[in-house]
Amino acid sequence: MNGKGLGPAHDRIELTQEEMRVIARLEHDLDVARGSSAPGKPAPRVRPTPRAHAYLLCMRFRRRAIWLMLLAGVGLAVAMTTSLALATLCAAAWTIGFAALLTEVGAAFRRRPRDGGR
């Protein structure tokens, strides 16, 4: 150590007064920019794709897929005679239940041992 700081001498550089002023201005501008953003506001995140939204929706109903399909099927049969909008909602619920059931079956298949269960 040569008394000027820690680390090897080749890691330190000598700066001119102008360079020191520029660095100080940059640090100040960065501090101002950081302070001007709303405190407590989380950083923007990447939005999930529509496919990821659909998969997460199916994952939410994995355990209740059979009951969702049963109720949506009954609702669809009853709503067919009365309301097209209600029938469409029941069909959408049935589709979500079916996709959730397929997700559950796929997850169970992936948990199976690769050697054929022996």
Does residue 106 form part of some domain? yes
Q: Tell me the average pLDDT across 15-27.
A: 86
Most confident of 9-23, 63-77, 82-96: 82-96
Q: Give residue-wise pLDDT tens across range 28-72.
A: 888 877 766 555 666 667 777 887 777 777 777 777 778 888 888
Does residue 83 form part of some domain? yes
* Helices and strands in the chain: count of H runs, count of E runs: 4, 0
Band (pLDDT 50/70/90 cuts) for residue 86 is: very high
Per-residue pLDDT at 117: 54
Contact 101/66 with Cβ under 8 angstroms? yes
Does residue 41 form part of some domain? no
Does residue 1 form part of some domain? no
Does residue 74 form part of some domain? yes
Q: Tell me the average pLDDT across 6-14.
A: 65
Q: Which is more confident, 58 or 84?
A: 84
* CA–CA distance, 94 with 89 (Å, rounded to integer): 9
Does residue 93 form part of some domain? yes
The range of the structural domain enclosing residue 104 comes to 50-111
Does residue 105 form part of some domain? yes
Per-residue pLDDT at 108: 72
Per-residue pLDDT at 1: 45
Per-residue pLDDT at 87: 92
Does residue 104 form part of some domain? yes
Structural domain count of the chain: 1
* CA–CA distance, 107 with 118 (Å, rounded to integer): 19
